């Protein structure tokens, strides 16, 4: 049936020569598992495009509704949590895939002549992808989105002369608000996709014009080429399946939680960037004073410029890594620094909080004593008494809470908080729990 | 990597090798199966994602629309009340109106304000003691019976009850244009 349809179409559209050009592309040295990273990246891009299109079906880019619509997708639309999970984990996966793709090309020396243009277009694609990450992060309009974007935009403001202008243009005004959200949305779903699709086409066009690099070992390369189809297609497909299963499993098992709705007046919130920006976030913690502009924009600027011009900076004609000591050394030092900083940052972020059993008991006491009859905690409960969502930011002092629970009016005169009949242990547990109610947890 | 030139199930054409026979079939089959698997694994949740809100039923609540003793006997009154409707991620307040008539025995009949013909809002004409639809001229009496015009069925009655002197109504909508009453 399918083949008859193909014959019918071919007799009119002459498809066979196109199929032959697309599928019989020669791969020097034969198909290899080393060449799957580009296809994996392309697959993830398609996955992001598809899930992104479906997310826009319910998402509204206005500060009034954005947060509610993401909540709606997450909790009310059938499989909404899964589609959002795929998009979230897919974004991380694509960064990882690009990283591996670049490392493979770098260590294989595949950026060397005549493939300089393919590498340079690839760097532009990488920058566009970082743009997707930055603009997409704001869209849920929760505390993390708001404050992380605030920091990101302010970093652009450190650039001399044009910094202020750039900040104003990015925000669409003096403050981060409705205009910022709608322009980030437009960039994320219309401008960047049209640019990146053009870039991807160019990247693939160049690939087809110059051909794949093949193995650096010339003897191996001379043994002959193999057609792209079917063995390389098969290898790419197997890797795509693996990538899909990993992303789908993460999406199905680990929910990416929303923080509270963005609150521009809450300056106590400490945002944490996505893991692929973490090494840079950590670097900025070490650099102060006159060196700060160096780290915020001179270093990244130089890094991307050097990366872009790499095929012209590295004039060593050898592709074999053991004959390229300088490139190898620079590459390894870079990786050690990036992963070192990432490791330190992850340790700082995730090693500390282990839920204390006392905290769990304290949380149960909140239910037992019906604290939410008056207090609101992360959107649950009445708003009669103070909102406790981030009470530990305002009151980090343990002693204060202990005294307050024993006799509320002794530290907070005029409060209508009742004196709870708490045992010493319950007093301690409740205080431990209340102290966990802070931002950035 | 296997050396392509030494494989016996490889064929060469101008120095370019390609797998043939059962090996080729195997690669083709696995690639196709993976494409189908990923496609289906995405299509099923995405289909549910698109259609699920279309089949979500609205929750219905009894609503107080007014006090029974304020209704005159035999004379219909249009009663307005405010309902909170969930519209996707938004909650909107909407004003609904129903027609209520107190009968001689004190029982109250409540009509949906929508003509059963094509869904216009009908009026009460006190001179003729008739409900008249301005769109296509359907006419009903105070019991909802069709007196004239194209209406296919009597006016739709809404469930109602009286609690502590308050008239409570369960608002519903029905498909128009049918002889049978079909709830939306």
In tens, the pLDDT along A84-110 reads 999 999 999 999 999 999 999 999 999
How many angstroms separate the CA atoms of A212 and B81, rounded? 71
Interchain CB contact of A223 with B (< 8 Å): yes
Q: Which of A16-20, A191-195, B83-87 has the highest mean pLDDT?
A: A191-195
Residues of chain B with confidence (pLDDT) below 70: 1-8, 58
A343 and A385 fall within a common domain = no
Q: Is residue A190 part of a domain?
A: yes
Beta carbons of B34 and A240 less than 8 Å apart: yes
Lowest-pLDDT range, A26-40, A120-134, A371-385?
A: A371-385
pLDDT at A61: 97
* Structure ipTM: 0.78
Beta bridge partners of B167: B66, B162
Question: What's the whole-number mean pLDDT along residues A306-333?
Answer: 93
Question: What's the whole-number mean pLDDT along residues A114-124?
Answer: 97
pLDDT at A210: 94
A340 and A253 fall within a common domain = yes
pLDDT at B2: 46
**What's the total number of domains in chain A?**
2
Instruction: Name the residue with tokens 């004379």.
Output: B75
Interchain CB contact of A234 with B (< 8 Å): yes
Interchain CB contact of B92 with A (< 8 Å): no
Peptide bond into A195 cis (omega under 30): no
Closest by Cβ to A79, choosing from B24, B27, B45: B45
Backbone angles phi, psi at B106, to 5 degrees: 95, -15
Look at residues A396, A408, A410 and name the one whose alpha carbon lies nearest to residue A440: A396
The CATH number of the domain holding residue A399 is: 1.10.760.10
A99 and A169 fall within a common domain = yes
* Domain carrying residue A220: 33-350
A183 and A76 fall within a common domain = yes
Q: Is residue A325 part of a domain?
A: yes
The yes-or-no verdict on residue A295 having pLDDT over 80 is yes
Q: Where are the alpha helices (DSSP H) in A24-172?
A: 37-55, 66-75, 80-108, 116-138, 143-156, 163-171
A171 and A140 fall within a common domain = yes
pLDDT at B4: 46
pLDDT at B65: 84
Domains and CATH numbers, chain B: 4-53 (no CATH), 62-170 (2.102.10.10)
Question: What's the whole-number mean pLDDT along residues A338-342?
Answer: 92
Give how far Cα A395 sits from Cα of A390, B107, B142, Å.
Answer: 9, 61, 67
Boundary residue ending a domain (A350, A384, A404) = A350
Interacting residues of A224 by C-beta distance below 8 A, sequence separation 6+: A29, A30, B4, B5, B12, B15, B16, B17
Beta carbons of A224 and B16 less than 8 Å apart: yes
pTM here is: 0.77
pLDDT at A378: 84
pLDDT above 90 as % of chain A: 57
The CATH number of the domain holding residue A208 is: 1.20.810.10
What tens digit of pLDDT does each residue of A139-170 get? 999 988 999 999 889 888 888 888 899 999 99
A320 and A362 fall within a common domain = no
The yes-or-no verdict on residue A174 having pLDDT over 70 is yes
Boundary residue ending a domain (A291, A325, A350) = A350
Q: Which residues of A touch B27 (CB under 8 A)?
A: 230-231, 233-234
Angstroms from B63 CA to nearest CA on chain A? 24
Q: Is residue A93 part of a domain?
A: yes
pLDDT at B5: 46
pLDDT at B1: 44
pLDDT at A324: 93
Beta carbons of A234 and B27 less than 8 Å apart: yes
């Amino acid at each position: 049936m399918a083949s008859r349809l193909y014959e019918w179409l071919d007799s009119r559209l002459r498809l066979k020569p196109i199929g032959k050009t697309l599928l019989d592309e020669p791969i020097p040295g034969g198909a290899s598992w080393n060449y799957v990273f580009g296809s994996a990246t392309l697959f993830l891009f398609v996955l992001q495009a598809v899930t992104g299109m479906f997310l826009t079906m319910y998402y509204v880019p206005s500060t009034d509704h954005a947060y509610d619509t993401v909540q709606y997708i997450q909790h009310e639309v059938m499989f909404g949590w899964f589609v959002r999970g795929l998009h979230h984990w897919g974004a991380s996966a694509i960064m990882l895939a690009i990283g591996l793709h670049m490392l493979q090309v770098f260590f294989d020396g595949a950026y060397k002549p005549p493939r300089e243009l393919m590498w340079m277009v690839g760097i532009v694609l990488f920058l566009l992808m970082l743009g997707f990450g930055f603009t997409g992060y704001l869209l849920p309009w929760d505390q993390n989105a708001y404050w992380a974007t605030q920091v990101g935009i302010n970093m652009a403001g450190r650039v001399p002369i044009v910094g202020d202008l750039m900040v104003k243009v990015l925000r669409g005004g003096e403050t981060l608000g409705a205009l910022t959200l709608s322009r980030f949305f437009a960039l994320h779903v219309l401008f960047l996709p049209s640019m990146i699709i053009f870039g991807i086409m160019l990247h693939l066009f160049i690939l087809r014009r110059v051909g794949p690099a093949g193995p650096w070992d010339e003897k191996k390369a001379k043994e002959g080429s193999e057609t792209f189809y079917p063995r390389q297609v098969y290898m790419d497909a197997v890797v795509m399946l693996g990538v899909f299963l990993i992303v789908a499993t993460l999406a199905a098992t680990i929910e990416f939680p929303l923080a509270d709705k963005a609150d521009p007046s809450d300056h106590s919130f400490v945002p944490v960037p996505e893991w692929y920006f973490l090494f840079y976030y950590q670097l900025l913690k070490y650099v102060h004073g006159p060196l700060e502009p160096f780290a915020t924009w001179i270093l990244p600027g130089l890094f991307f410029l050097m990366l872009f011009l790499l095929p012209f900076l590295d004039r060593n004609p050898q592709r074999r890594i053991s004959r390229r000591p300088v490139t190898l050394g620079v590459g390894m030092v870079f990786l050690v620094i990036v992963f070192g900083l990432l490791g330190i940052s992850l340790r700082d972020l995730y090693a500390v909080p282990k839920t204390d059993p006392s905290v769990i008991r304290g949380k149960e006491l909140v239910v037992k004593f019906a604290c939410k009859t008056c207090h609101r905690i992360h959107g649950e409960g009445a708003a009669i008494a103070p909102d406790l969502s981030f009470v530990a930011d305002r009151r980090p002092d343990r002693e204060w809470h202990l005294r307050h629970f024993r006799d509320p009016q002794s530290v907070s005169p005029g409060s209508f908080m009742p004196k709870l009949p708490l045992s010493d242990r319950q007093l301690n547990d409740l205080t431990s729990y209340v102290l966990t109610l802070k931002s950035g947890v | 990597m296997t050396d392509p030139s030494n494989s016996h199930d490889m064929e060469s054409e101008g120095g370019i090798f390609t797998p043939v026979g059962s090996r080729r079939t195997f690669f083709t089959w696995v690639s196709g199966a993976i494409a189908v698997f990923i496609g289906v694994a995405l299509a099923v949740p995405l289909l549910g994602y698109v259609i699920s809100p279309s089949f979500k039923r609205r929750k219905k609540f009894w609503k107080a629309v007014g006090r029974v003793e304020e209704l005159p006997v035999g004379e219909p009154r249009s009663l307005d009340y405010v309902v909170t409707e969930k519209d996707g991620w938004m909650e909107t307040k909407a004003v609904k109106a129903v027609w209520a008539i107190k009968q001689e025995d004190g029982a109250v009949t409540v009509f949906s304000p929508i003509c059963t013909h094509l869904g216009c809002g009908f009026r009460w004409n006190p001179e003729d003691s008739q409900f008249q639809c301005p769109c296509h001229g359907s006419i009903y009496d105070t019991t909802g019976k069709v007196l004239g015009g194209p209406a296919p069925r009597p006016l739709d009655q809404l469930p109602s009850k009286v609690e502590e002197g308050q008239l409570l109504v369960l608002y519903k909508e029905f498909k128009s244009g049918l002889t049978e009453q079909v709830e939306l």
